[in-house]
Structure 1
Amino acid sequence: MTIDISQFYQVFFDEAEELLAEMERLLLAVDVESPSEEDLNAIFRTAHSVKGGASTFGVTDMSEVTHVLETLLDRIRKGEMALTSTHVDAFLAAKDILKMQLDGHRNGSAVDQEAVGDVRMMLQELAQDVHIEAMAPVASGFSTPEVQAVDHSGGKRYRLELPPMVHREVEALAAELGLMGHVELMPLDAERHAMIVTTHESLDDIVAICSFVIDADQMQVSELPALSPTQAAREHAERERKEAELGYGFFDPLPPGGAAPAAAPAAATSADGEGYGFFQPLEQIRADAGAAAEDARGYGFFQPLEVIRAQAGIKDAPAEAPKPTEEQEKKAARKEAEKQAHAPAGGESSSIRVSVEKVDQLINLVGELVITQAMIEQRAGSLDPVLHEKLMSGISQLTRNTRDLQESVMSIRMMPMDFVFSRFPRMVRDLATKLGKKVEFVTSGAATELDKGLIERIVDPLTHLVRNSIDHGIEMPEVRKAAGKSETGRLFLSASHQGGSIIIEVSDDGGGLNRDKILAKARQSGLPLSDNMTDADVWQLIFAPGFSTAEQVTDVSGRGVGMDVVKRNITAMGGTVDIRSAKGFGTTISISLPLTLAILDGMLIQTGEEVYILPLGFVLESLQPAPEDVKEISGKGRVIKVRGEYLPLIPLYQIFDIEPRFTDPCKGILVIVETEGKKACLFVDELVGQQQVVVKNLESNYRKVTGISGATILGDGGVSLILDVTALVRSSRQLVDESNFVKETP
């Protein structure tokens, strides 16, 4: 029987990538001076899990690196070595190598084998007295426990007499104990074995490992005399001799004389043909295992159910289980606590992997359902509610259910900002080290959720802002010390919800923006300036294309490429960028984004015969002005005085060349909108209503239209355009020079 395991490779790739990301997060968060035992164990578990998955799928290059990494981590977590920053650097380098190897298997990208060898050698040197040998490819059938060539002279020797167990369970237990020392396996009879474990670990640690596989009460333990250095060396030499004869547990020994039998090549070819070069033929597996029943349960490739249950800590209850004693109950509770501590957060059954394409398809279908529901509701609006009471009640129920369904489906696309934030600790650490700066990276609001489409597009702008804060914002340690600051600068990355938007802020406690330097560079670049520019206006100059105040070009910054792209990308997402800075105290760059681009709450406004959608997040209020509040500026258009403040008037009928019902603002409706910290009055004929709309991309279906960000389908089947408020307000500012108007004082 042939089993196609290729379907499981993608699961392995995804889980390995998640484990490597978790390893990097743990390494960056660990306290090198006094690491907690739990942190070290957590790091070790990630490496162990990657190694297990890589070995299962025959990804030997990854399992070799994780084997060396795991050995060094094991010594550190046991207290045999002290954790240092050198170790953390080496572990991060190993993580990068593993990620490169993973990408090589997943995408076919190139793998730098020289870099792989360098990292392995570095880890081996850090391991000091641990001699690491390259791992041989794991063959099918029974495996042998890994043996570390560690000097165990002076260590304790324990004899473990095991209860009846299947051979594979014994080998699995020996492999786990092999991480703690040297294990010698001795058969007692057909079903029972004994182990002699030579180790520096305590007996409690050994029993704890055994408890995950067998009931420790059924195991007999005795302590043997420790080996002298001479005896240990003799035993080690004898073990190496036996391993050489046996092919190290992976290969068949050569016949006497060292020559392979003549039939070997043909046999190998046949085996390769039947095993695809990776697995033994089914007949050979049966012959090696000697158990047709186990083969039937495992299909010749997988472990039998008993082994899986034993490794998972699941035991069959006896027919008549005696009532446990108080001591047994405490021991069982302790085992359960240990298993819970090592179990993945949330459990495997709490989530399911679904492709993004399926989620997007579901959202599109729900969007069409929303449109259909709006059509039904509009058609029913012309019916007599008394004569069609049941129909109207059903439509109301459909409306509520559709909205609940829509909100539930949209929540599937929402992802925590931690998906973005987790990328930066490593980058901050590496860049600060490269620049010779000390930076403490602090995040908050990582659980804040944002639409997946926006999360993917916000990564690059945030990356540039973080790099700028480290390079330009935070000063060198000696400069900070001279200014009375701590040598270590602080970089903050936060996210929070405000109304229908998410606010992402990048803050530093560095030197702040230099107003004079920015103005001098702007004049040199020929940018339009005025004598009475506010600080907020000056800060916006850094978003001009090609603008940079760096004195020299480096591989970090200085080319003036980036900040303009940052603002352009954020604006394209319907967001805004704001800068606050104080010289000597730091800078904060605030990004405001809508929670999703798929659905928005909109106000339906009408000009002439056209109905437009105005995103509700930009709307402050609506009003009908008095004649004396409307002022005409020659060649500049009209402005409206609202509570002592003059706001530019944007006649929508002029923007889109429409025949309106009203040209007098006093007869129409003014909607006050705000974007990028600027306010304006949008002049329309009337307000139609308010509803949630499904956003459709106009560019992919038609073409880009100035002042329009998208389109939607209304209940009557007609298409309505969604206004780009930011673009409209900007165009009004080009016509009206707000320096001509000042806020009146009472």
Structure 2
Amino acid sequence: MTIDISQFFQVFFDEAEELLAEMERLLLAVDIDAPDAEDLNAVFRTAHSVKGGASTFGVTDMTEVTHILETLLDRIRKGEMALTSEHVDAFLAAKDILKMQLDGHRHGSEVDQDAVGNIRMVLHSLTENVPVAALAPVAVASFGAADTQVVDHSGGRRYRLELPVMDHREVTALGAELGLMGHVSITPLDRDRNAMVVTTHESLDDIIAICSFVLNPEDMIVTELPALDAAQQQLEDAARNKVESDLGYGFFDAVPLHPDNDAASSGAGEGYGFFQPLDEIRANAQSASDDARGYGFFQPLEQIRAAAGIVSDPVTVQEEEKKAAKKEEKEKEKSHAGAESSSIRVSIEKVDQLINLVGELVITQAMIEQRVDTLDPMKHERLLNSVSQLTRNTRDLQEAVMSIRMMPMDFVFSRFPRMVRDLAAKLGKKVDFITNGAATELDKGLIERIVDPLTHLVRNSIDHGIEMPAARRAAGKSDAGRLFLSASHQGGNIVIEVSDDGGGLNRERILAKAQQNGLAVSDSMTDPEVWQLIFAPGFSTAETVTDVSGRGVGMDVVKRNITAMGGVVDIRSAKGFGTTISISLPLTLAILDGMSIKVGEEVYILPLGFVIESLQPTPEDVKEISGKGRVIKVRGEYLPLVPLYQMFDITPRFTDPSQGIVVIIETEGRKAGLFIDDLVGQQQVVVKNLESNYRKVAGISGATILGDGGVSLILDVAALIRSSRQLADEQIFS
């Protein structure tokens, strides 16, 4: 039966992208001076996994790059070559090339073949200690041919793989894949079976991993042959054209059968005179724990050496046993961890559909709850209890479904170590990048929109904030500046901070630049007000324009994007000590906690995150400013009064603030009093996009459906404050 693997391409693309991201993370974290062996092995495994998947799906261009990359990594992890920063740079560049090739197959984007050729040449030059022939695929012997191209692999390991009955095409494909790892020769056996002899520097685990794509490893007999020296290599070359009926492979003498030795006589066909038969290996594996290192059906290495007349150093054997035991323990831990954790890939469209359905369920539940409120609790006690239970279950279901969309901030943070490293090297600076709170979760929709603003803030910190090493030494600081990226939950919001220990913001330079740009400034402005000037369009204090920054494009976009997500940007800075830019965002845009307010006959939803307090002022607290409207005095501070009925042209119940309610709101560092008729209550609402269903309405950010089935508009607090004419005069805030 032929299986169409095209249906699994998306899984390969997703997994390959995750593996490449993991490779980059590992490479950035590795200690070049004293690399940890497990870290190097982990990098090698990611490259090998990408190569295996690419080979399975016929993505040959990625296979060729990963093969050279894998060979170099293997030499380094084995201690045959010291890791250098040049190696890490080449590996990161190779990762970028692989990502470009992956995008080319996934999205049809253009692939720069010159860049691919360059990175292959760089990796090839770095592996000059490795025979060049080992880096290229080797021709595989065709069936019935006795001659095969010979490649010098002296010092490499040699394995004989006796394959089960397989299709000719599958054997050829397997031989071609193993040929990427070294030299392969194929010999036909009886009953449509074949044997392969693989000479390679790779491990047995890697060979088995490749074979597992096309066959069950338990159906294959694997034996290790002694390594070839130069003389044996010549002998094998001369005898390669001989018919191997004696099973000696040209350089081993056929072992005579011994009738008195059952094991030898029965194993002559299967063990070829000096390898232990498969059945005996399995039998011994059940009674001897040492054979566990043979995977239950492979012969232990020391027995092969003894049978072949090779004397092993006891100390070396003991070290190998310790390594094998340690490896086995790690494999058990991995398999145990894998058994406990599981996941399933679900498209975001299905998740959004589920969230919408739960939102409708919440609305229906609110309608039912409002209907039963008019019933007599004595007569309908059981119905009311059932509705209460439904309310609790609906809330739990809503929270569980919303958590599906939540993703850890590590999804964003993991993008920056590479960028920080490259940008710091480009600017000639030293930067230690530190993250905290990567496990903090945020809605997927917000995570995707926060990447660009954070990228700009991080680049600004490196370019403008952190000084050059010489300047830092002169200021009594360490040569390497520190850049912090943190995330934490505060109530119903997530707070993301970008901090550096650089020179801080220059108040005088910002004021001078703002005045040059025609902005209204004064020396009496507070520091927070001065810092907000950098968000003005076209504002930049850079003396020269570079490809990093200096054009004044970005910070205004950052603030606009954050505000559009319902967030707030705050800046704290001290000259000579550094700058911290704090971003506060709601955890999700799909559901919000709101306060129901009433003006005339209309009910609006005021997002609770902007509400500080509500009060009923006395007539003495409300003052009229000629031509500027009214202000309200709250604990010695005068705030502009925003009459909501005037903003939306509604006939109110009250026009005197002392008769109605004033809600103190705050956004973008500014406070105001929102004058309304009455407070209805507090509730959690499902946000519906008004713009996609109707059109954009000034002062309105969305809509929701109330329990009575009516539609209530959600106020855009930031837009209301900005559009209020009372705020035109900054002197109100003094």
Bucket of the pairwise TM-score, normalised by the shorter protein: 0.7 to 0.9
Matching residue's letter, 2:132: H
Tell whether 2:165 aligns with 1:130.
no
CA 210–636 in structure 1, closer or farther in 2 if over 3 Å, else same: closer
CA 622–147 in structure 1, closer or farther in 2 if over 3 Å, else same: farther
CA 522–238 in structure 1, closer or farther in 2 if over 3 Å, else same: farther
Matching residue's letter, 1:55: S
| Number of the residue aligned with 1:385 | 377
Tell whether 2:523 aligns with 1:522.
no
Question: Any idea what SS the aligned residue of 1:350 has?
Answer: coil
Q: Verify the 8 A CA contact 2:500 2:580 in the aligned structure 1.
A: yes
| Number of the residue aligned with 1:708 | 700
> What is the rounded CA distance, in whole Å, between the counterparts of 2:59 and 2:202 in structure 1?
31
> What is the rounded CA distance, in whole Å, between the counterparts of 2:97 and 2:348 in structure 1?
28
Query: How many angstroms does 1:157 deviate by?
Result: 7.2
Query: How many angstroms does 1:136 deviate by?
Result: 7.4
Matches within 5 A, 1:216-255: 227-228=229-230, 231-232=232-233, 235=236
| Number of the residue aligned with 1:65 | 65
Q: Verify the 8 A CA contact 1:147 1:178 in the aligned structure 2.
A: no
Query: How many angstroms does 1:235 deviate by?
Result: 4.9
Residue from 467, 472, 490 that aligns with 2:464: 472
Normalization by structure 1: what TM-score?
A: 0.79
| Number of the residue aligned with 2:108 | 108
Q: Verify the 8 A CA contact 2:690 2:701 in the aligned structure 1.
A: yes
Matches within 5 A, 1:505-520: 505-520=497-512
Query: How many angstroms does 1:697 deviate by?
Result: 1.0
Matching residue's letter, 1:627: P
CA 551–222 in structure 1, closer or farther in 2 if over 3 Å, else same: closer
> What is the rounded CA distance, in whole Å, between the counterparts of 2:440 and 2:203 in structure 1?
45
Query: How many angstroms does 1:210 deviate by?
Result: 12
Matches within 5 A, 1:369-448: 369-448=361-440
Q: Deviations over 1:455-508 (max 9, x none)?
A: 111111111111111111111111112221111111111111100101111111
Matching residue's letter, 1:726: A
Tell whether 2:92 aligns with 1:92.
yes
Q: Verify the 8 A CA contact 2:605 2:714 in the aligned structure 1.
A: yes
Query: How many angstroms does 1:676 deviate by?
Result: 2.1
Query: How many angstroms does 1:690 deviate by?
Result: 1.1
Query: How many angstroms does 1:337 deviate by?
Result: 3.0
> What is the rounded CA distance, in whole Å, between the counterparts of 2:238 and 2:93 in structure 1?
35
Query: How many angstroms does 1:677 deviate by?
Result: 2.5
Structure 1 range deviating more: 330-339 or 202-211:
202-211
| Number of the residue aligned with 1:664 | 656
Matches within 5 A, 1:335-734: 337-340=329-332, 346=338, 350-732=342-724, 734=726
> What is the rounded CA distance, in whole Å, between the counterparts of 1:596 and 1:219 in structure 2?
55
Q: Verify the 8 A CA contact 2:511 2:530 in the aligned structure 1.
A: yes
Q: Verify the 8 A CA contact 2:67 2:180 in the aligned structure 1.
A: no
Q: Verify the 8 A CA contact 1:162 1:192 in the aligned structure 2.
A: no
> What is the rounded CA distance, in whole Å, between the counterparts of 1:660 and 1:420 in structure 2?
47
| Number of the residue aligned with 1:55 | 55
Query: How many angstroms does 1:3 deviate by?
Result: 3.4
| Number of the residue aligned with 1:293 | none
> What is the rounded CA distance, in whole Å, between the counterparts of 1:204 and 1:350 in structure 2?
24
> What is the rounded CA distance, in whole Å, between the counterparts of 2:651 and 2:364 in structure 1?
31
CA 236–517 in structure 1, closer or farther in 2 if over 3 Å, else same: farther
| Number of the residue aligned with 1:13 | 13
Matching residue's letter, 1:551: E
Q: Verify the 8 A CA contact 1:495 1:504 in the aligned structure 2.
A: yes
Question: Any idea what SS the aligned residue of 1:705 has?
Answer: coil
Q: Verify the 8 A CA contact 2:140 2:176 in the aligned structure 1.
A: no
Structure 1 range deviating more: 623-632 or 12-21:
623-632
Q: Deviations over 1:20-45 (max 9, x none)?
A: 11111111111111110111011101
Matching residue's letter, 2:342: S
Q: Where do 5+ consecutive residues of structure 2 fail to align?
A: 243-277, 296-324
Structure 1 range deviating more: 375-384 or 340-349:
340-349
Q: Deviations over 1:39-77 (max 9, x none)?
A: 101110111011101111111111111111111111111
Matching residue's letter, 1:584: G
> What is the rounded CA distance, in whole Å, between the counterparts of 2:88 and 2:364 in structure 1?
57
> What is the rounded CA distance, in whole Å, between the counterparts of 2:544 and 2:451 in structure 1?
26
Matching residue's letter, 2:497: E
Matches within 5 A, 1:27-38: 27-38=27-38
> What is the rounded CA distance, in whole Å, between the counterparts of 2:333 and 2:178 in structure 1?
20
Q: Deviations over 1:389-420 (max 9, x none)?
A: 22211111111111111111111111111111
Q: Deviations over 1:413-468 (max 9, x none)?
A: 11111111111111111111111111111111111111111111111111111111
> What is the rounded CA distance, in whole Å, between the counterparts of 1:344 and 1:51 in structure 2?
26
Question: Any idea what SS the aligned residue of 1:691 has?
Answer: strand
Query: How many angstroms does 1:330 deviate by?
Result: 10
Q: Verify the 8 A CA contact 2:140 2:175 in the aligned structure 1.
A: no
Q: Deviations over 1:177-229 (max 9, x none)?
A: 999987878899989999988788999999999999989xx9887867x624x
CA 691–336 in structure 1, closer or farther in 2 if over 3 Å, else same: farther
Matches within 5 A, 1:274-293: none
Query: How many angstroms does 1:176 deviate by?
Result: 11
Q: Verify the 8 A CA contact 1:164 1:191 in the aligned structure 2.
A: no
CA 71–612 in structure 1, closer or farther in 2 if over 3 Å, else same: same
| Number of the residue aligned with 1:285 | none
| Number of the residue aligned with 1:250 | none
| Number of the residue aligned with 1:286 | none
Q: Verify the 8 A CA contact 2:285 2:292 in the aligned structure 1.
A: no
Matching residue's letter, 1:227: D
> What is the rounded CA distance, in whole Å, between the counterparts of 1:98 and 1:451 in structure 2?
29
Matching residue's letter, 2:562: I
Matching residue's letter, 2:574: A
Matching residue's letter, 1:730: R
Normalization by structure 2: what TM-score?
A: 0.80
Q: Verify the 8 A CA contact 2:208 2:217 in the aligned structure 1.
A: no
> What is the rounded CA distance, in whole Å, between the counterparts of 1:356 and 1:37 in structure 2?
38
Structure 1 range deviating more: 372-381 or 324-333:
324-333
Q: Where do 5+ consecutive residues of structure 1 fail to align?
A: 243-314
> What is the rounded CA distance, in whole Å, between the counterparts of 1:62 and 1:209 in structure 2?
16
CA 632–345 in structure 1, closer or farther in 2 if over 3 Å, else same: farther
Question: Any idea what SS the aligned residue of 2:132 has?
Answer: coil
Q: Verify the 8 A CA contact 1:639 1:647 in the aligned structure 2.
A: yes
> What is the rounded CA distance, in whole Å, between the counterparts of 1:592 and 1:235 in structure 2?
71
In the alignment of these two chains, the number of paired residues is 660
Query: How many angstroms does 1:645 deviate by?
Result: 2.5
Query: How many angstroms does 1:625 deviate by?
Result: 2.1
Question: Any idea what SS the aligned residue of 1:589 has?
Answer: strand
CA 533–715 in structure 1, closer or farther in 2 if over 3 Å, else same: same
